[in-house]
A and B are shown apart, each in its own frame.
Chain A
Amino acid sequence: MHTRREMLARSAKVAGLLAAAGFLPMSALAAWPQAAFDAKNMADAVKALGGTSAPAESKDVTITGPDIAENGAVVPVGVATTLPGVKRLLLLVEKNPSVLAAVFDVTDSVEANLNTRVKMGQSSNVFAVAMMNDGKVLYASKEIKVTLGGCGG
């Protein structure tokens, strides 16, 4: 009997081998993409997730979030696109130690419109990225200011 951790490690290895052999199926991402979360910038994160083209800014991708966050511990952000053929949506915080915050593998059964909340250590650009089925990588960015709180904050 394998523990889940071993299973994950194993499937990661398998996925790696499959990828090397050019046989990477969608479901291989059941293993957590460590390299993408270790990436220090958007381009590297996208590359680690199998993106082959450089990210290009696009009006067809929307990032939602407040201009100012009263507290960086919880910052509501969203990524959306109206374009068809979306494979994956990402949210990244430029100045966080781990730039990549979240990856969403979407299917045709859900809208390419996702909202969550991230932590921000300081004021920073936040990126919403859409990785398309045709290999294009499109993004939008927004600066979110993080303010200091009262008293000891």
Chain B
Amino acid sequence: MKTPHWLVTALATAALLAGCSSMPSSAELDAKANQAIKSSFRDQGIAKTDRLNQDLGQSACSSDKPPSDAVADKIMAEALASVKLPANGQYLGDWKAGERLAQDGRGMTWTDASTDPKANGGNCYNCHQIDKKEISYGTIGPSLWNYGKNRGINDLSSPAFAPIAQYTWVKLWNAKAFAACSNMPRFGYKGLLNEQQLRDIMALLLDPKSPVNQ
């Protein structure tokens, strides 16, 4: 984006006229904010200050305005390329284990002992309705009730299954593949859940036997 020279001059003059009480420029404030963030945190347990080093997907989504289309496209392309599909094309695990993971909001905080995915939950109900029997669900993400059923998966041999399963796996692995600034954690990419855990959550969403699809 180009700013006309006359505007820059006018703004600079206005700033000068405002004198000592003038505010720093937006760029200066950005620098000050970054400095403040650096100096305000310290390591605690497994939560180290390197968690503040942003990748593009984080830094470009750190304001009240979305990134440019070009940047968003780059984030999505990189996210898509990062996805590891499951070994042997085995997408589904055990929906009961998936439900337990969906209920579990633990993991990766400074009060947690280990960064091993086995110590982590999926946090799903914090943001999504999933099994209708659970009344304590969040609304930051869409309802996932009847997730598989609504997408035409009545049995696992249905032709709808393969593309939906792949889409869902990618979404769970790295949600930025479909929305650059998605609110959803990148469960596979960031090592929050392992392959088996992802399969279990996949089963909760897609298995026709899962209570989610009744």
Q: State yes or no: do A and B touch (Cβ within 8 Å).
A: yes
Chain A interface (Cβ < 8 Å from any Cβ of B): 68, 145, 147-153
Chain B interface (Cβ < 8 Å from any Cβ of A): 103, 105-106, 109, 125-126, 135-136, 138
The answer to whether B136 touches A152 (Cβ under 8 A) is: no
Number of cross-chain contacts by CB at 8 Å = 17
A152 to B125, CA, bound (A): 11
Residue of A with least CB distance to B125: A148
A148 to B123, CA, bound (A): 12
Q: Is the interface of B mostly helix, strand, loop or mixed?
A: loop
The answer to whether B105 touches A151 (Cβ under 8 A) is: yes
Residues of B within 8 A of A152 (CB): 105-106, 109
Interchain nearest-CB distance for A71 vs B (Å): 11
A153 to B106, CA, bound (A): 8
Residues of B within 8 A of A151 (CB): 105, 126
The answer to whether A150 touches B105 (Cβ under 8 A) is: yes
A148 to B130, CA, bound (A): 14
A148 to B126, CA, bound (A): 10
The answer to whether A150 touches B126 (Cβ under 8 A) is: yes
A68 to B136, CA, bound (A): 11
4 closest Cβ pairs, A-B complex: A147-B136, A152-B105, A148-B136, A152-B106
A150-B126, A153-B105 given; 14 more Cβ-contact pairs under 8 Å: A68-B135, A145-B135, A147-B135, A147-B136, A148-B125, A148-B136, A149-B136, A150-B105, A150-B138, A151-B105, A151-B126, A152-B105, A152-B106, A152-B109
Residue of A with least CB distance to B112: A152
Interchain nearest-CB distance for A42 vs B (Å): 27
Residues of A within 8 A of B106 (CB): 152
Interchain nearest-CB distance for A73 vs B (Å): 15
Residue of B with least CB distance to A149: B136
Q: List 17 A-B contacts (CB under 8 A).
A: A68-B135, A145-B135, A147-B135, A147-B136, A148-B103, A148-B125, A148-B136, A149-B136, A150-B105, A150-B126, A150-B138, A151-B105, A151-B126, A152-B105, A152-B106, A152-B109, A153-B105
A151 to B105, CA, bound (A): 6
Residue of A with least CB distance to B135: A147
A68 to B125, CA, bound (A): 18
